[in-house]
Amino acid sequence: MTTITGLRIAITGGAQGIGRAIAEALIAAGARVALGDVQEDAVRATAAELGDGAGGHRLDVADPASIASFLDAATAQLGGLDVLVNNAGIMPIGPFLTEEPTLTARTIEIDLMGVLTATRLAGTRFADRGHGHIVNIASVMGTLASPNAATYCAAKHAVVGFSAALRQEWRGSGVAISAICPGFVRTELIAGMTAPPLLDRFLVCEPEKVATAVVDEIRRGRSRTVFVPKAVGWVSRGSAPLPTPLVDAVFRLSGGNKVTTELDREARAAYQARTEGGR
């Protein structure tokens, strides 16, 4: 077990939503945090509200130089770095064939390449001293799939596989790596999306539940894939051995396909505009 008190932790995408909830939970457990986000004013305001020495820094995870600068700033602020939480991400929703190639590329840059780059840079520091922990916030869409979210699914599947590969590669090194796979989390990311009652009951959760899982993984120092809520894991693992036609049929009958196909476009407009505009 690792004592959270005094740990120095950097969190990407920390201005709001899951990132902010993770920061709040870690501070409550005694950690010190540095938050990075492309929304500079928002992340600085969040850090000020959190108090307890939290710092907010501009970070564009689509830019490797920005990631390096953020990790340097976090290290300077905290006096070192023990844990990196890769949380920043976007989720454009729409048919793949009409998705703008620039949006496809941006999603991969943020949701995948940002994770790879930050993991390489922080992982090198951790490996040099023989301890550290990287927590990658993936998604249930990193083990399953949903229509109208093809690029997002591709990126999150890659993050889950990447984390699993490094778990093997880093075994015995003292550096842990975890992948957290939430279901649908009630944040801006799912604006305009509505899950059917059955799915809403078992597969949707508040960001605080994800934050609790992150704190638990860091405390235990484990390298593994974690599903939040637990029912997400039951669905993911339970569907793996089943024939694809059966899995698809159950998905449609449960209404799962409607989550990303029957959207409230007006409710999602602000998020889509900011995502597509690179903010």
> Among all residues, which ones are annotated catalytic?
152
C-alpha to C-alpha distance for 4 and 8, rounded to whole angstroms: 9
Write the DSSP symbol of residue 228.
Answer: E
Write the DSSP symbol of residue 133.
Answer: E
C-alpha to C-alpha distance for 43 and 41, rounded to whole angstroms: 6
- Tokens representing 137 are 């916030």
The dihedral over CA atoms of 225, 271, 278, 64, expressed in degrees to the nearest 10, equals -20
Q: Which residues pair with 191 in a beta bridge?
A: none
CA-to-CA separations, 143 to 76, 78, 84, 132, 233, in angstroms, rounded: 36, 35, 22, 26, 9
Indicate the SS3 state at residue 8: strand
